[in-house]
Amino acid sequence: MKARKKPVEVEVIQLKMVSPRSYRKCKEFVGEAWIESVHNRLPIIKTLEGAMEVSDGDYIIKGVNGEFYPCKPDIFHKTYEILD
């Protein structure tokens, strides 16, 4: 059996650690799911699978049910098409 993902539009933002504005925008985008990390300085977000680190360049995707998850850039570009 084969299946294809249904075309669904999601909200997305990319974290760029060198930009304080990008960091702030990502934090605002994620809201209460954002966790400041003290140990290694990478932010963490709460996902359905638990807390996950977000690395520089990762995309943060808001799923169809309002959940958040990080996505590595190479996987993001293979899976998603930017609309804006």
- Give pLDDT tens digits for 14-60: 999 888 999 999 999 999 999 987 676 889 999 999 999 999 999 99
Q: Where are the domains of the chain?
A: 11-79
* Per-residue pLDDT at 49: 94
* Per-residue pLDDT at 30: 96
Instruction: Report whether 62 contacts 8 (CB < 8 A).
Output: no
Strand 59-62 with 11-14, pairing: antiparallel
Q: How far is CA 20 from the centre of its chain?
A: 17
How would residue 77 be classed by pLDDT, with cut points 50, 70 and 90? very high
C-alpha 67/C-alpha 31 separation (Å) is 11
- DSSP code string of 32-84: GGEE--SSSS--EEEETTEEEE--TT-EEEE-TTS-EEEE-HHHHHHH-----
Question: What pTM did the predictor assign?
Answer: 0.88
